[in-house]
Amino acid sequence: MASVSNIPLQQSVADLGIAYKNFFNSLKGKRKGKRVGNPKFKKKTGRQSARFRIGGFSIKGDEVYLAKIGDVKPIWSRALPSEPSSITVIKDAANRYFLSFVVEIEPTSVDAKNQSIGIDLGIKTFAVMSDCSKEKSPSYSKQDRKIRKLQKRLARQQKGSKRREKTRIAIANQHNRIADKRKDFLHKLSTKIVKENKTIVLEDLNVSGMVKNRKLARAISLQGWREFRTLIEAKSEKFGRTFQVINRWEPTSQICCDCGFKWGKVDLSIRSVLCLNCGTEQDRDENAARNIKMVGMGHRHDLKRTGSDRKTSSEASCCEPSRIPVALAPVSMSTLNKSAPTALAAWRSPPGGYRQISPQCPPVLKLQAAKFRDLCRSAVPLRQETGRAGWLVVLGAFLRMAISAAGIH
């Protein structure tokens, strides 16, 4: 015991006290937010840390004196802006050592270039901004592949063996590579965004729900969306910017950002949507980013929203064009005013629009052009009056006509 300084020991006892306080307050319901579990013992192999408060350290030039450890000469990442109030020595899983200083900084002011920005986060392109710029995330696949391989090796090795320890460190190293790459990328991107914009709008993502998608779980976990949000939030405060998060139920990918037309849920594989109302082709992510910005700034298109919209899994509802063959895909007024054969042709080959067409399509296309036109004419007032229910009526009518056209009774 005498070989260790008393300061980190006292600190860890104090930390344990806070942890228990949080745990019991959470149990009694006094503490808001997510439930806090009971404190756990740390693993010897995991991250370890010791905190030195004032009195336990001193800084002499570029050397740091730590009580009972002695002088250490760190590689400084930058000069300290002020006297630190505490130093934490961190040893990570790959046996790297870090010194972390707690310092006070003054908020800085940088003039922002733009008023506001909306950001849509994704997997392939990490962020799509409302000004149409895109940021790709670095590739973690090489490290990820190595980790999978090493994990298999680790599982076969004897517990407590030296070789297993070697593999453990190799895995930790790869994890560190990923984490460092990501941290570097996120820091640079968030600084750039916060410096350039006065208001930053992000979407509240249900990450823990998305990770349940097993095909995407690994890719999503590697992205660090939450980390990005935390960084943006902290840096916004530092630079005096407004940071906003919009509701996760906001249908940002279902609405045309130019005219507010709601085309409904679109499958993830569809990357661009041709708005049938105003005729612009919208990139899926860009459209979402611009919608996020719009909602965050308080401007939004007038929408009739019902309670049933507030579900993520409203699949196969009648506002989802990708799944419903013909009748329910939104029909614009301009299409209707054209002569019927053209309208029909438009459906056969939607120009860059909905690329998924269900196999049930052919019998419907057998319909005579005139019948199609009449139906569309009747469809529009129905839709305007009754919304979704109207479309259901149209679907029924259309199916009846399709059946009679195919000659089945």
Which residues are known to be catalytic?
120, 203, 285
State the nearest-atom distance from the C-beta of 280 to Zn ion, in Å: 6
State the nearest-atom distance from the C-beta of 263 to Zn ion, in Å: 9
Which CB sits closer to Zn ion, 195 or 262? 262
State the nearest-atom distance from the C-beta of 122 to Zn ion, in Å: 21
Which CB sits closer to Zn ion, 140 or 354? 354
Round to whole Å and give the CA distance between 277 and 132.
Answer: 22
Which CB sits closer to Zn ion, 23 or 261? 261
State the nearest-atom distance from the C-beta of 257 to Zn ion, in Å: 8
Which CB sits closer to Zn ion, 11 or 277? 277
Round to whole Å and give the CA distance between 271 and 279.
Answer: 16
Locate 347 and state its tokens: 């459906």
Round to whole Å and give the CA distance between 140 and 175.
Answer: 10
Return the beta strands (E) in 204-251 as ranges. Answer: 242-246
- CA dist list (Å): 196 to 105, 133, 190, 291, 342: 21, 13, 10, 20, 47
- Closest to 378 in 3D by CA, of 405, 361, 398: 398
State the nearest-atom distance from the C-beta of 330 to Zn ion, in Å: 10
**Residue 298 CB contacts under 8 Å (≥ 6 apart), including other chains:** none
State the nearest-atom distance from the C-beta of 380 to Zn ion, in Å: 17
Which CB sits closer to Zn ion, 147 or 256? 256
- Closest to 254 in 3D by CA, of 244, 243, 242, 267: 267
Sort 264 into a burial class: Cβ within 10 Å, 0-12 / 13-18 / 19+.
buried
State the nearest-atom distance from the C-beta of 332 to Zn ion, in Å: 9
Which CB sits closer to Zn ion, 170 or 278? 278
Which CB sits closer to Zn ion, 147 or 275? 275
Round to whole Å and give the CA distance between 266 and 408.
Answer: 32
Count, residues in the chain: 409
Sort 382 into a burial class: Cβ within 10 Å, 0-12 / 13-18 / 19+.
middle
Round to whole Å and give the CA distance between 350 and 265.
Answer: 17
Q: What is the 3 state secondary structure string of 7-72?
A: HHHHHHHHHHHHHHHHHHHHHHCCCCCCCCCCCCCCCCCCCEEEEEECCCEEEECCEEEECCCEEE
Locate 330 and state its tokens: 């939104």
Residues that bind Zn ion (CB under 5 A): 256, 258-259, 261, 275, 277-278
Pure H helices in 99-215: 141-156, 162-196, 207-210
